């Protein structure tokens, strides 16, 4: 009986010893992915010429990063790719960021929509800080609102304010409500 108990105990110890490294590797892999995503986010939001008229997003697939969004300056597209490419753990960057066409009409609309949205008392809190949460993308007179707001009311008010600007052809409201 004694030797059987010893054999079972030894078998459990050996099995436990082989499982420990596997269990320890899982959280490490997840934290490495989280670390890479935090690094990418930090690099993108701290770009010096990023404005409320630019929208950047990304997706990580293994050691490849896919960059998406729209920018008003061509240098932002290349700068975003260069910043992400130099991060540890990133082997490839697929840059699908769209550079918006140069247009004085769109420039005027950007400013008018920003005044209408951020000038609204219910929304002016979203303009505070270095990285405002409502992004205003204008392409050929069409406005897209991107970002995150606190509630559905703020989402609807932003949509109404953008639609009320003279010269806007259409508004796509992609604002997400915080959970």
Do 15 and 83 lie in a common domain?
A: yes
Do 28 and 62 lie in a common domain?
A: yes
Structural domain count, the chain: 2
Domain of 118, CATH number, reads 3.30.1340.30
Do 112 and 81 lie in a common domain?
A: no
Helix (H) or strand (E) holding 50: none
DSSP state letter for 18: H
Do 95 and 171 lie in a common domain?
A: no
Do 58 and 121 lie in a common domain?
A: no
pLDDT at 140: 97
Among candidate residues 99, 127, 151, the one where a domain is terminated: 99
Do 11 and 47 lie in a common domain?
A: yes
Q: Which of 121, 120, 177 is nearest to 153 (CA)?
A: 177
pLDDT at 20: 40
pLDDT at 38: 93
Do 13 and 90 lie in a common domain?
A: yes
DSSP H helix total and E strand total for the chain = 4, 7
Among candidate residues 99, 120, 137, the one where a domain is terminated: 99
Q: How many CB atoms lie within 10 A of CB 140?
A: 12
Do 125 and 93 lie in a common domain?
A: no
20 neighbors 38 (Cβ within 8 angstroms): no
User: Which residues are CB-neighbours of 59 under 8 A, at least 6 positions away?
Assistant: 65, 66, 68
Give the residue numbers spanning the domain of 121: 104-177
Do 44 and 6 lie in a common domain?
A: yes
Do 171 and 122 lie in a common domain?
A: yes
Do 114 and 53 lie in a common domain?
A: no
pLDDT at 137: 98
Domain of 9, CATH number, reads 3.30.70
Do 83 and 139 lie in a common domain?
A: no
Average pLDDT along the chain, 179 residues, taken 10 residues at a time: 43 38 48 88 93 95 94 96 94 96 96 97 91 95 97 97 97 95
Among candidate residues 40, 75, 99, the one where a domain is terminated: 99
pLDDT at 102: 93
User: Which residues are CB-neighbours of 117 under 8 A, at least 6 positions away?
Assistant: 123, 134, 136, 145, 158, 161, 162
Q: 42: burial class by Cβ within 10 Å (0-12, 13-18, 19+)?
A: exposed
């Amino acid at each position: 009986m004694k030797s059987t108990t010893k054999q079972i105990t030894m078998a459990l110890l050996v099995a436990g010893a082989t499982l420990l490294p596997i269990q320890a590797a899982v959280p490490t892999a997840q934290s490495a992915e989280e670390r890479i995503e935090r690094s990418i986010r930090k690099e993108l939001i701290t770009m010096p010429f990023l404005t409320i008229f630019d929208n950047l997003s990304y997706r990580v697939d293994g050691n490849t990063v896919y960059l998406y969004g729209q920018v008003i300056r061509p240098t932002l597209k290349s700068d975003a790719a260069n910043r992400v490419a130099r991060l540890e753990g990133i082997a490839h960057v697929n840059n699908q960021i769209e550079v918006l066409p140069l247009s004085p009409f769109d420039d005027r609309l950007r400013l008018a929509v920003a005044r209408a949205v951020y000038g609204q008392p219910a929304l002016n809190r979203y303009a505070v800080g270095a990285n405002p949460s409502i992004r205003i993308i204008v392409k050929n007179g069409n406005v897209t609102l991107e970002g995150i707001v606190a509630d559905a009311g703020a989402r609807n008010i932003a949509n109404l304010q953008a639609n009320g600007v003279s010269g806007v052809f259409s508004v796509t409201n992609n604002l997400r409500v915080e959970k």
